Structure 1
């Protein structure tokens, strides 16, 4: 059974969904908790809203800390990878190892996977990431200091906000070219 919980952060209401194996989804902060709730129920129509279980309390606190600009580590958050293609799981593992405030490019992840020509596939995998923040796809940028894409609500603007919260150099570089 899939359950989910919403919780307040410094920038809005976020959420997690889980089953017995681990997290099945995360939802980036929204101003309105109803938007997050509808998002979970669209993806998991049979999900039940519940209290955050003790085993996921540290994950919620880590997400809250990141949204306050603290350097929290979510590497131990349990993920249910049972519906995740193997290539995506490998991309997510590399992305999870990027510390807050730092970035890698799609190409750098492709090289870590053994083939620099996989950069586009890396981007596609990150575009389907069901665990934003926990799998920090916002920390993956395009070559040449460009932010690259971001499939969450708000697109690249949201990505840049998250990087700015974490104090990433990529966010500061982007401001040089704004306007």
Structure 2
């Protein structure tokens, strides 16, 4: 796997690719040494980007500037990813810029609302966040839920805010602390 690190308006991203496609994205939030260690794990090393990778970098930079970007045409290398996760990611790839879904909605599409926790685990294991937009998956109460990227839920909220999505309690409802 080849990798590269580049700067955006959100901070430094890392990406990794193979001949089959994009295999890894590291979202901003780590210091450079930690970012390099994480993106180059498993024997990956810095490489020379192809035109397709240069185009992807430009798209990510545009996204970080707040432009609506469609990543659906990016070839993905999901070798080694469990079948359940792939199925969840396939559904998630249909959720576009400025849209959200819930863990439960994805679980129902996968056959059983009881799979909500498994969907959450798949989102947490997503090797290609942003491109596979796990930041667009919310808890059933409209709250952000978890996010395994640096910065956790705050990073998720920042990404959704870029897309014009306001996250929280639905208008007209109150939450109680019990």
TM-score, structure 2 as length reference:
0.89
Indicate the residue corresponding to 2:127 in structure 1: 130
Which is further off, 23-32 or 123-132?
23-32
Q: CA RMSD in A?
A: 2.1
CA distance in 2 between counterparts of 1:78 and 1:156 reads: 27
More helix by share: 1
Corresponding residue SS for 2:48? coil
Indicate the residue corresponding to 1:93 in structure 2: 90
Per the TM alignment, residue 31 of structure 1 is displaced from its structure 2 partner at its CA by: 6.5
Write out per-residue CA displacement over residues 41-71 of structure 1, whole angstroms, 9 at most, x where no aligned residue: 2x22x22212321122222222111111111
Indicate the residue corresponding to 1:144 in structure 2: 141
Contact 1:164 1:171 in 2 (8 A): no
1:68 to 62, 65, 69: 65
* Residue-pair matches, total: 173
5+ residue gaps, structure 2: none
Per the TM alignment, residue 138 of structure 1 is displaced from its structure 2 partner at its CA by: 0.5
CA distance in 1 between counterparts of 2:74 and 2:135 reads: 17
Indicate the residue corresponding to 2:77 in structure 1: 80
5+ residue gaps, structure 1: none
Indicate the residue corresponding to 2:51 in structure 1: 54
Contact 1:160 1:171 in 2 (8 A): no
Contact 2:26 2:35 in 1 (8 A): yes
Per the TM alignment, residue 34 of structure 1 is displaced from its structure 2 partner at its CA by: 3.1
CA distance in 2 between counterparts of 1:172 and 1:51 reads: 45
Indicate the residue corresponding to 2:111 in structure 1: 114
Per the TM alignment, residue 84 of structure 1 is displaced from its structure 2 partner at its CA by: 0.9
Which is further off, 54-63 or 128-137?
54-63
Contact 1:11 1:31 in 2 (8 A): no
